[in-house]
Structure 1
Amino acid sequence: MKEKPKALKQSIPWVKTSLISSSIHSLLKISIYFIIFFTFLILSHTPKFTYPLPIFFTKNCSNINAFTKSTSSQNPSHFIQNQTKINTQNPKPYIEKTHLHHIVFGIASSAKLWDQRKNYTKLWWRPNEMRGFAWLDKTVRGSTDSATLPPVKISSNTSRFKYVNKKGDRSAIRITRIVSEIVRLGLENVRWIVMGDDDTFFVVDNLVRVLSKYDHNQFYYIGSSSESHLQNINFSYNMGYGGGGFAISYALAKTLEKMQDRCIRRYPKLYGSDDRIQACMAELGVPLTKEVGFHQFDIYGNPLGLLAAHPTAPLVSLHHLDVIEPIFPNMGRVQALQRLKMAMKLDSAGLMQQSICYDKARNWTASISWGYSAQIYPGFIPAREMEIPERTFVNWYRKDDGAAFSFNTRTLARDVCKRPFVYVLSNALHNPSTNRTESEYVRVSSSKSKCSQTKIVDPSNIRIVEVHKRPDPNLWDKPPRRNCCRVLPTKEEGTVVIDVDACKESETIGF
């Protein structure tokens, strides 16, 4: 092959270099123009700067003069105004917060028990504000107090369903279908169906607070377990106990209604209504969302220990009111609940919330369950112990054994010097000048003898505990935290004055 001329050889690398240089030059030129264009675009929509532009911006800008003139005549907020206009044209839909009228109650009762137990329902029912029905097995005679109670519905016939549990009652099938029967009523604007028994007392404002946390358009099954470990073993820790009450979102209730009758037929051996609900929930794949303010109260005896150390959660319900002792001593059960309502009306969010503080001068530990009780313990007891309920009650199976409960408990001290002096609510009012509640707790009579220890001042001469507290209806919109309390100086003999309020950021409960 002939050798190519030298001139041609030398021209080839030059051509490559020239092409590369030309491409780079073009890219740089285009980049500079883009930078200039977008810089002026930004500057034309922001407040004018007094700083001089860099020198390279002042060159080769004749082609941008028209753009700058057109934009400089516009208001700098023109872009923001346009955006605002666009947003207002497509606003987000307003979603009303869950209120009491969004809830429909299903109260399980019978013709045999309704006349007696309706007095419990009457305590918390609000005519013209609430929706719901008392579901009976058959009609009862007319009552003169029907205006203060929910209307009565008669459950449909359930004889076609098989029931073979020898220890239970087939009325459980009727009761478990209340949810479906409410759905079939076709009520409007329903978000939640709440089930409870005729001996269940609801703190309805706290119920609304709890349900407001959840999206009613999703599948939610909300309630709590039994206080009895054996009850939960025999039934399920995944079951919302019907006496303590449980809530089902309406979206879930509508789905349950479509399959519940078929589901019921698969479980003829189950005992009650609530375990049948839970069996259907398991088939739908919906777990129990636990809210510890629902109280089944599978206990006997005095509920003081449980309520004086209530969990840091809103009190939603109390059950088995015919089984436990009256929550206040020396009065009837209904009368005791009426007294509780006195405090509930003033500050439902803070009802029975425990606060712990110390009187260092007298070496006392004070525990306040607001709206219910106050206790003074001789000596110093750490907060981690005070928040554990004392066993003033026994298990559903009559066992006084800490292992029989589904939560921590502690025994009552045998040493008289370590037992608390107990005070229960006697009166409560709101002071408009201070915007604080003032509640009074009086000493429960006791045969407790004086403590002979000399290092601790004897609290036996204290007859009244006076508590000042600021109501906080938004208490449960914040992360859960106990309120703090402080023992205040007073010249009133036989009285201890305590202030309860939100803890300061770095405040601790310590001696």
Structure 2
Amino acid sequence: MKDSEKVFWDSMKNPAGNHHITAAFNSQSRTSSKLLLCLIFFISFTYLIYSLKLLSSPRLCSDSQPFSSSVDPLHNLTATAAISLSTSSQGGLPTTNQTELRHVVFGIAASAKLWEQRKNYIKLWFKPEEMRGTVWLDRKVKIDEDSDELPPIRISGDTSKFAYKNRQGHRSAIRISRIVSETFRLGLKDVRWFVMGDDDTVFVTDNLLRVLRKYDHTQYYYIGSLSESHLQNIYFSYSMAYGGGGFAISYPLAEALVKMQDRCIQRYPGLYGSDDRMQACMAELGVPLTKELGFHQYDVYGNLFGLLAAHPIAPFVSLHHLDIVEPIFPNVTRLQALDRLKIPMKLDSAGLMQQSICYYKSNTWTISVSWGYAIQIFRGILSPREVEMPSRTFLNWYRRADYTAYAFNTRPVSRNPCQKAFVFYLSNALLTNSTTGETVSKYIRHRAPQPACKWKSPSPSIIDFVKVIKKTDPKLWERSPRRNCCRVMKSKEKKTLMVEVGMCKEGEISEV
């Protein structure tokens, strides 16, 4: 029997000796207290040494940024450790997770028959040193010296095994519908988005990125827009992205499409085009169209002026059907017109084509600015509700002047001779202050015949030039959508109207 047990049983027999128990337990308690104090001292000393190490560590403070007692050292440690981890894993400085051009791969549908003509449209916007993409042709073409200005050319795979039963269409639609899948199978790395377009499509790539950055590329997304033609949308689908205007598919959705597309195509031999086949497969995958108004199919004929001068409040992403419509600037070729548009595109792509509406009160004029493109001056006061509607300077896809055939509101060109717009087209644009980002763009009056007007108010014919002052605004589309405001300014130059365009001030609206 142990001594402590003997003492316990002896005390039970002799209650008078209980003081021995108390003494024994007090002795054990003092021993435990000493051990506890030693343990506390050891932990405190260890923590003190660790804290001193943290204070002297160059990763937490330096000569240029001394440690401050007001800053939580644990917070600093966490942030520093995160930066260190990011740097070591990436092999360099940490980078943002923002989608860039290197994350986008273009698949461009082209035909050998029209290649010599349409390759020039691609040269206007595609930058081989910055972008990735492939032109998919139906057969081989002659490779010219300008090939270094273009994406690589590949021949589409054989589609003869697929049935095509639409009598009004062409079976090339099957080949074009498989471009996203064929581009995916190239196995390119670090891809977030596949963007489809035609060889007669021009992209504003900065604005394309602004749109894509709104969406999570790790999720299923099918992004594009509709036709301008109500009848086209009825015949095909209001849920379909029109391929000529361009559309974007996220990487995981493209991956899912590749696995099922060939089987899907076999189920729809009666469909007309490539884009409705794509939408049919999206329907089977259960993915709806995410509509973005800046993708433009332009299923119209004639003059795009009415559409461009009243662009919706959205980034201007693409133009299509450039061979069908008139040049967007008068008295030049289509390529020359598009080349002129590159000037404001480089200066302030976010503001390109964005409409502002204001009034010159003393002259009773309404002014509409489509920045980087054109300016209209109307006699009299037109409400913003009217001016933001595109004027019908174009015909619908079936070449009829039928306003009910459009998928949006339009307004007629005024029959009142006094309210015919005076139009000023972009001549040039310059960055005048690199620090503030201020630009000046100049617009010259288009010398078109003007009908006689009997109104007594001043005629806009006294103006030959309009100059617009505007600060670049690359974060325009990071705010909620709103038209910029414009203000008429005093001008020291003869026959020149000065206008300022920019963010609306507090309480500023378009009113007389």
Question: TM bucket by the smaller chain?
Answer: 0.7 to 0.9
Distance 1:206 1:86, change over 3 A: closer
Aligned match of 1:404: 405
Shift, 1:449, TM fit: 2.5
Q: Which residue of 2 aligns with 1:351?
A: 352
Determine whether 1:428 maps to 2:420: no
Q: CA deviation at 1:90?
A: 5.7
Distance 2:216 2:487 in 1: 38
Instruction: Give the secondary-structure state (helix, strand or coil) at the position aligned to 1:243.
Output: helix
Q: What SS does the corresponding residue of 1:366 show, helix, strand or coil?
A: strand
Does 1:157 pair with 2:149?
no
Q: Give, as a single letter, the amino acid of the residue that structure 1 aligns with 2:499.
A: I
- Shift of residue 445, structure 1, vs aligned partner: 1.6
TM-fit CA distance, 1:506 = 1.6
- 1:460-508 CA-to-partner distances (Å, cap 9, x unmatched) read 1211111111111111111111111111111322211111111112211
Shift, 1:436, TM fit: 1.3
Could you list the per-position Cα deviations for residues 219-250 of structure 1 after superposition, in whole angstroms to 9, with x for gaps in the alignment? 00000000000000000010000000000001
Distance in 1, Cα, partners of 2:71 & 2:110: 64
SS in structure 2 of the partner of residue 349 of structure 1: helix
Secondary structure of 1:409's aligned partner: coil
Cα 1:79–1:494, aligned 2, differ >3 Å: closer, same or farther? closer
Q: Partners of 1:98 and 1:147 in 2: how far apart?
A: 25
The yes-or-no answer on 1:85 pairing with 2:86 is no
Match of 1:313 in 2: 314
Q: Which residue in the other structure is 1:58 paired with?
A: none
Higher helix share: 2
Q: Is the 8 A contact 1:224 1:295 kept in 2?
A: yes
Are residues 390 and 81 of structure 1, via their aligned partners in 2, closer, same or farther at CA, if it must alter by over 3 Å? same
| Cα displacement (A) at 1:435 | 3.2
Q: Letter of the aligned partner of 2:449 in structure 1? A: S
Tell me what 1:97 maps to: 98
Corresponding position: 1:440 with 2:442: yes
**Closer, same or farther: CA 280–84 of 1 in aligned 2, 3 Å:** same
* TM-score relative to the length of structure 1: 0.84
Q: What's the counterpart of residue 14 of structure 2?
A: none
**Equivalents in 1 of 2:112, 2:286: separation in Å?**
35
Contact 1:390 1:410 in 2 (8 A): yes
| TM-score, reference length from structure 2 | 0.83
Whether contact under 8 Å (1:450, 1:460) holds in the other structure is: no
1:368-389, CA deviations, whole angstroms, 9 ceiling, x for partnerless residues? 0000000000011111111111
* Distance (Å, rounded) in 1 between the aligned partners of 2:182 and 2:139: 15
Counterpart residue number, 1:477: 478
Q: What's the CA shift string for 1:258-304, capped at 9, x where partnerless? A: 00000000000001111000000000000000000000000011100
Q: What letter matches 2:109 in structure 1?
A: A
Residue identity in the other structure for 1:447: P
Which deviates the most, 427-436 or 499-508?
427-436
Partner of 2:131 in structure 1? Answer: 130
Matches within 5 A, 1:139-218: 139-218=140-219
Pick closer, same or farther for the CA change 1:350–1:78 going to 2, 3 Å: closer
| Inter-partner Cα distance in structure 2 for 1:263 and 1:353 | 40
Give, as a single letter, the amino acid of the residue that structure 2 aligns with 1:105.
F
Which amino acid letter does the alignment assign opposite residue 427 of structure 2? S
Q: Provide the residue aligned with 2:454 in structure 1.
A: 452
Which residue identity lines up with residue 436 of structure 1 in the other structure? E
Deviations along 1:348-397, whole A, 9 cap, x unmatched? Answer: 11000001110001000000000000000001111111111111111001
User: For 1:231 and 1:494, how far apart are their aligned partners in 2?
Assistant: 45
**Residue 33 of structure 2 aligns with which residue?**
none
Per-residue deviation at 1:194? 0.3
The answer as to whether partners of 1:450 and 1:458 remain within 8 angstroms in 2 is no
Q: What residue in structure 2 maps to residue 46 of structure 1?
A: none
SS of corresponding position for 1:504? coil
**Structure 2 counterpart of 1:82, which letter?**
L
2:393 is matched with which residue?
A: 392
- Aligned mates of 1:196, 1:79 — CA distance in 2: 53
Match of 1:368 in 2: 369
Of all paired residues, the percent bearing the same amino acid is: 60
Aligned-pair distance for 1:429?
A: 1.1
Cα separation, 2, equivalents of 1:87 and 1:191: 28
Aligned residue identity for 1:122: K
Q: CA deviation at 1:450?
A: 3.4
Cα RMSD for the two superposed structures: 2.3
Q: Counterpart in 2 of 1:380?
A: 381
Distance of 1:291 and 1:505 partners within structure 2: 28
Return closer, same or farther for 1:286/1:95 CA change in 2, 3 Å cut-off. Answer: farther
Equivalent position amino acid for 1:444 in 2: H
Q: How far does the alpha carbon of each residue in 1:116-175 deviate from its partner, in whole angstroms, 9 at most, with x for none? A: 100101100112100001100111112110011111011010000000110111011001
Q: How far did 1:87 drift? A: 5.9
In structure 1, distance between residues paired with 2:79 and 2:427: 56
What SS does structure 2 have at the residue aligned with 1:361? helix
Kept after mapping to 2: 8 A contact 1:224/1:244:
yes
**Partners of 1:336 and 1:90 in 2: how far apart?**
50
Q: How does 1:247-396 map to 2 (within 5 A)?
A: 247-396=248-397
After superposition, the Cα gap between the structure-2 partners of 1:496 and 1:95, relative to the gap in structure 1 and judged at 3 Å, is closer
C-alpha distance 442-262 of structure 1, shift in aligned 2 (>3 A): same
> What are the Cα deviations for residues 58-103 of structure 1, in whole angstroms up to 9, with x where unaligned?
xxxxxxxxx9xx99x9899699423543565467976521001110
1:256, 1:499 → 2: CA distance?
48
CA distance in 1, matches of 2:505, 2:387: 20
1:139, 1:458 → 2: CA distance?
58
Aligned residue-pair number: 446
SS at match of 1:196: strand
Tell me how far apart the structure 1 counterparts of residues 397 and 309 of structure 2 sit (CA, whole Å). 20
Which residue type is aligned with residue 202 of structure 1?
F
**One-letter code aligned to 2:111:** S
Relative distance call for 1:82 and 1:137 in structure 2 (3 A) is same
Match of 1:51 in 2: none
